[in-house]
Every structure is written in structure tokens, then in C-alpha cells.
């Protein structure tokens, strides 16, 4: 196969036939000589808003490839290398007991998938419900406020990412083509094929739920087993080695290999692991608010007058404040919803979510300020308690509802009374509150300074009727569970993985971390 880069198609003429024409022109061959064409990458070049193009990289099957390569001396035309994921298993490890995975978020699911594929028959322990039941429980919570502390937006099959935008883009290097393997498994389980080549792939919360069901069924078919409503409550350790786990304060299961994939919100489990002697450290994270705008305004800023020909636009914004703090957009959800993502009674936290079509007409993004031990203390769980303090205030100031405020009123430190031109999109009840009464003053000041700067990048970003809501505190885990070069903790046989353990930041990196740990486990 021959690879061809930098094929540009105007957005008004984006067809497969035109793509073939452009590829043939670049290769200096007849279009009919192209036997097969696969899209490898697709992105949008909107630097010139009067001439926006899709930019493609493709691979094609043609006759006389070497002759064609010799004739076309260009960095944009090259011999396509094998980019499939491979694992070299010299001595496949034998196990006395089935490996146990705690948590069925991306890291846990992908580790389970690979272990099942290679015949290790893992047991997956999940404190929450299977995704079908979880969806019903969460929708009931959004309507009534009745919280299931073990099955909610944070906990349950699929993890917290199930109720997000389902974004898959990441900046990590991928020399071993592990990311491609992750996307291929997603597509195999029903995700849209375009995630294999789009520059900023996403699945959307609605499609992701079906993908997770299909992935679960494949894991079961290959020999894996799921135990739902099953909370890890204790570890039985002897001679610094894991021997058994306890589930729901009752059931004991023999265990030689324990994969800890608990997610960033399993605060009770963090404390239990610490009490059992597993080494961990506090780490920085970020907290702030969600801001909502008209998606049309974002689209126009990013694309110009031709925005209707393009998919809903996203953005990524960063700023360093006068007091040297980083402020940045996080988990931007085009055409999405702000959701009540609480997991503890009497505490309130929010997140963003989009369906695959991103068609709510309202964009939202977290705007968060970095915080460290200088802000919340040096003890291991001080960061976690800092999060809880803000979440408790948010719950109290909103009387259990999502606190909401117009941006102009947030700047003036006064309560809002009604929305203006922007009609917000929430999942869960909300009420007007003064978010200055929830977040520390330095965070409020930094948010205003950053949002005013962001208006220089996206005109209208700091408009008076933009809507902010709080609080966003679960940007990443407040702790890191330490592991060695073999991804094992200080307790032999225990492998901390994914976002909760402090080694990933999103669906894709979590999934890749799950595969890395799978490799270490079976290649010992």
C-alpha cells in the first residue's frame, strides 16, 4: 500500500469521488488505477475561514508501487508500513487463579478484553450496575435527586466516561500502535468507523453505552466474568503479596493478580488501599466551573460564515494568570449538556456530556484552575478533602440543585434572577446561586481573568449572558497509586491502572494503560 498525505478538499466538495480524483492527480495516475482507498486521517484546516478544507491522509492499493514511488519523489507519498498492534509473547504465563479487575471503566474493560482474548478468563468486580440499569438509575436521579452512591455518573459499568462526550483524542505518542488497537476494538463493538481516522474522534454518550454492552458480551464470550453491585471492601495480604480480596464485606475470592482500575472518584477505596499499606502520594489537579454558550457562536468563531457545512466546533483554551496559575478548558462538549455527576450524599459535582450528533445547540466546557498542596495541604488525602469541601458547599448553596449564575453576575458577585438569550441545557435540577460563595476567592479571580482573555480568542466568550455552573472538581485523581517499571504496586500482585490510579487522563489513555498492564501481567 502507498500512503498519500496532504490531500485537500474544499468543504463544499467533500466526496469520495473527488478524494480519488485528488489522490490520482497527486500520484499522476488515472483514477481507475486505484484499486482500493482507505482513509487514514481526516482533519479540518480552518486557518483561512474563506477557504476551509478537509485535509486527508490515505492509503491506496495500485499496481507497480515501487515504480510509482520512484516516479513521485515527495514526502507526501510514501510506502505504507504495517501499523497494527502486536505483542511478542515468548513464554505465556500460567496462572493459578483467575486475574481480578476492580472497576469496569476504560482501563478495566480493555485490560479485561485483552486478558479474555488470550484465554485468562478474568473476573471483573464492579461496584455499580451494568450500563442498562445504570442509565435508568441516573435518569431517575436527575429527575428526583435520589442518589445511588454506588451506581451514578461516576460509578458503574463503563466508568465516568460513559456519561461524557466520549472524546477519544489524545496527544500521547503511540509507537506500538496501541491507540489504533483501542479504536479497532471500539469499532468492532459498534463505534462509528470514522473514529479510526478523524483528527478529533468521539463516540458520544448515547452510542458509547451500546458499545460497552457489546464489549461486555465479547468479554463474556471469550471467558470473562462480570460481578456487578460488588464493592471491593478488603484485601488479604500475606508476606507483602495479595492472596485474597473481600467483596461486599462478605465474599472472599482467591487472587494472585489484582488490577485496580477504580476511577478518580472511589474515595472510600483509596482510603482502604492506604490502610492496607499500598503506597500512594497526593497530586495536583484542577477545579472550577462549567460555562455554556450558544453552539452557533462557537461555530462561527471557529469556522466563519460557512460553519453550517461543518460539524459542531470544539475549542481548547489555556491561560497563565498574573499569580502564575494555569487556567484551561477541559472536557469541552459541543452541542451538549451540563450534568449532575454527584456520587456522595450531601455533595454536588458536575460534568459535561454530549450525544454523538452533538445537537443540543448549546456548548459547554469546564474552565478550571490548577491547585496543588500549597492550596490544600501536604497530607495524602488533603486534596480529596479539598474537593469534598467545595462539593459540599455547592450542594448547600444550591439546596441539592446545580448552582447556576450568569457570568456578568459572577463578576459582580451578585445573584442572578433569570437567563437572557442563552437557554441552558442541564441533566438534573438547577437553581440560581452565587458561585462566589462556593469557590475560594483566588479561584474566582483567576476564572474571571482567564475568561476575559479567552474572549480575545473566541469573540463573545465573556458575554454577559454566558452561563456558569459549579462545581467541577473531578478533573483528575487527587492521588497517584505508586507502581514500579512492571506496573506493580509495593504489594506484589497488585497493579494500579488508569485515571483513578493517576496514570491516564481520558478514555483513550485509560484504555491504553489497561493494555499496557495486560502485557506486563502475561509476559512475566
Do the Cβ atoms of 468 and 435 come closer than 8 Å? yes
Q: What would you report as the CA-atom Rg of the chain, rounded to the nearest whole angstrom? A: 24
Alpha-carbon distance values, 130 to 124, 227, 404, 474 (Å): 12, 9, 32, 22
Residue 227 cell numbers, joined:
460481578
- 138 three-class SS: helix
8 Å CB contact between 293 and 254: no
Neighbours of 518 (CB within 10 A): 28
Rounded Cα distance between 91 and 101, Å, is 23
**Cell, residue 446:** 483567576
Nearest to 354 by CA among 430, 404, 425: 425
Q: How far is Cα 479 from Cα 81, in angstroms, rounded to an integer? A: 40
pLDDT in the model for residue 167? 92
Per-residue burial over 456-486, b = 16 or more CB atoms within 10 Å of its CB, e = otherwise? eebeebbbebbbbbbbbbbbbbbbbbebeee
- What's the chain's length in residues? 524
The class that CATH gives domain 2-79 is: alpha beta
DSSP class per residue in 61-114: E-SSHHHHHHH---TTEEEPPP-------SSPPP-SS--EEE--SHHHHHHHHH
CATH number (3.50.50.60, 3.90.180.10, 1.25.40.10, 3.40.1830.10) of 100-281+479-522 reads 3.50.50.60
Query: Rounded CA gap, 200 and 309, in Å?
Result: 17
Residue 524: its pLDDT value, please?
A: 65
Preceding amide of 354 cis, omega within 30:
no
Residue where the block lists cell 486478558: 115
3-class secondary-structure state, position 450? helix
Q: Cβ contacts of residue 347 below 8 Å, gap of 6+? A: 388, 391, 392, 394, 395
**479 contacts 384 by C-beta, under 8 angstroms:** yes
Q: What is the separation of C-alpha 456 from the centre of its chain, rounded to a whole number of angstroms? A: 28
For position 234, what pLDDT does the model report?
A: 98
pLDDT of 9 reads 97
Residue 91: predicted pLDDT: 77
Give the separation between CA 370 and CA 289, rounded to whole angstroms: 12
Beta bridge pairs of residue 198: 42
Reduce the DSSP state of residue 29 to 3 states and report it.
coil
Per-run averaged pLDDT (10 residues), the chain, 524 residues: 95 95 92 93 95 96 86 88 86 90 98 97 98 98 97 97 90 87 97 95 96 98 98 98 98 97 96 98 98 98 96 97 96 97 98 97 98 97 98 98 98 97 96 98 98 98 96 97 97 97 94 96 83
Q: Are 366 and 469 in contact, with CB atoms under 8 Å apart?
A: no
pTM of the predicted model as reported, rounded to 2 decimal places: 0.95
Which sequence spans correspond to the domains of the chain? Answer: 2-79, 100-281+479-522, 284-472
Burial classification of residue 91, based on how many CB atoms lie within 10 Å of its CB (0-12 exposed, 13-18 middle, 19 or more buried):
exposed
User: What pLDDT is attached to residue 340?
Assistant: 98
Amino acid at each position: 500500500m502507498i500512503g498519500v498525505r496532504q490531500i485537500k478538499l474544499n468543504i463544499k466538495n467533500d466526496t469520495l469521488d473527488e478524494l480519488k480524483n485528488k489522490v490520482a492527480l497527486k500520484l499522476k495516475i488515472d483514477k481507475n488505477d486505484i484499486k482500493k482507498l482507505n482513509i487514514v486521517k481526516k482533519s479540518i484546516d480552518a486557518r483561512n475561514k474563506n477557504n476551509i478544507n478537509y485535509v486527508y491522509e490515505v492509503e491506496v492499493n495500485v499496481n507497480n508501487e515501487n515504480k510509482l514511488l520512484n516516479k513521485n519523489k515527495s514526502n507526501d507519498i510514501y510506502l505504507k508500513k504495517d501499523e497494527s498492534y502486536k505483542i511478542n509473547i515468548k513464554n505465556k504465563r500460567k496462572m493459578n487463579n483467575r486475574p481480578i479487575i476492580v472497576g469496569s471503566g476504560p482501563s478495566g474493560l480493555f485490560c479485561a478484553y485483552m486478558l479474555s482474548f488470550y484465554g485468562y478468563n478474568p473476573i471483573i468486580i464492579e461496584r455499580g450496575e451494568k450500563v442498562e440499569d445504570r442509565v435508568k438509575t441516573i435518569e431517575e436521579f436527575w429527575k428526583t435527586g435520589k442518589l445511588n452512591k454506588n451506581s451514578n455518573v461516576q460509578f458503574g459499568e463503563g466508568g465516568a466516561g460513559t456519561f461524557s462526550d466520549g472524546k477519544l483524542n489524545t496527544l500521547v505518542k503511540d509507537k506500538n500502535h496501541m491507540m489504533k488497537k483501542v479504536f479497532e476494538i471500539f469499532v468492532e463493538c459498534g463505534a462509528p468507523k470514522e473514529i479510526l481516522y478523524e483528527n478529533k474522534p468521539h463516540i458520544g454518550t448515547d452510542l458509547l453505552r451500546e458499545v460497552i454492552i457489546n464489549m461486555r458480551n465479547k468479554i463474556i464470550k471469550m471467558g470473562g466474568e462480570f460481578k456487578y453491585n460488588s464493592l471491593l471492601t478488603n484485601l488479604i495480604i500475606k508476606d507483602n503479596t495479595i492472596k485474597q480480596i473481600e467483596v461486599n464485606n462478605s465474599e472472599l475470592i482467591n487472587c494472585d493478580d489484582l488490577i485496580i482500575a477504580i476511577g478518580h472518584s472511589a474515595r472510600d477505596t483509596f482510603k482502604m488501599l492506604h490502610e492496607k499499606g499500598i503506597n500512594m502520594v497526593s497530586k495536583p489537579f484542577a477545579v472550577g466551573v462549567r460555562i455554556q454558550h450558544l453552539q452557533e457562536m462557537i461555530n462561527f468563531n471557529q469556522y466563519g460564515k460557512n460553519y453550517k457545512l461543518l460539524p459542531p466546533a470544539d475549542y481548547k483554551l489555556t491561560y497563565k494568570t498574573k499569580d502564575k496559575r494555569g487556567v484551561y478548558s477541559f472536557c469541552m462538549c459541543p452541542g451538549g449538556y451540563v450534568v449532575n455527576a454527584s456520587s456522595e450524599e450531601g455533595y454536588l459535582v458536575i460534568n459535561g456530556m454530549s450525544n454523538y450528533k452533538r445537537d443540543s445547540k448549546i456548548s459547554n466546557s469546564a474552565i478550571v484552575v490548577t491547585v496543588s498542596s500549597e492550596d490544600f495541604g501536604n497530607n495524602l488525602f488533603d486534596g480529596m478533602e479539598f474537593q469534598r469541601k467545595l462539593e459540599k458547599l455547592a450542594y448547600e448553596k444550591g439546596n441539592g440543585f446545580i448552582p447556576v449564575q450568569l457570568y456578568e453576575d459572577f463578576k459582580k458577585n451578585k445573584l442572578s434572577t433569570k437567563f437572557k438569550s442563552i437557554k441552558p441545557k442541564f441533566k438534573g435540577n438547577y437553581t440560581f446561586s452565587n458561585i462566589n460563595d462556593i469557590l475560594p476567592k483566588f479561584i474566582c479571580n483567576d476564572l474571571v481573568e482567564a475568561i476575559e482573555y479567552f474572549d480575545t480568542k473566541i469573540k463573545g466568550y465573556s458575554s454577559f449572558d454566558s452561563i456558569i455552573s459549579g462545581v467541577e472538581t473531578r478533573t483528575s485523581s487527587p492521588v497517584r497509586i505508586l507502581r514500579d517499571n512492571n506496573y506493580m504496586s509495593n504489594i506484589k500482585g497488585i497493579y494500579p491502572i488508569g485515571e483513578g490510579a493517576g496514570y491516564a487522563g481520558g478514555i483513550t489513555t485509560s484504555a491504553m494503560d489497561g493494555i499496557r498492564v495486560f502485557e506486563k501481567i502475561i509476559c512475566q
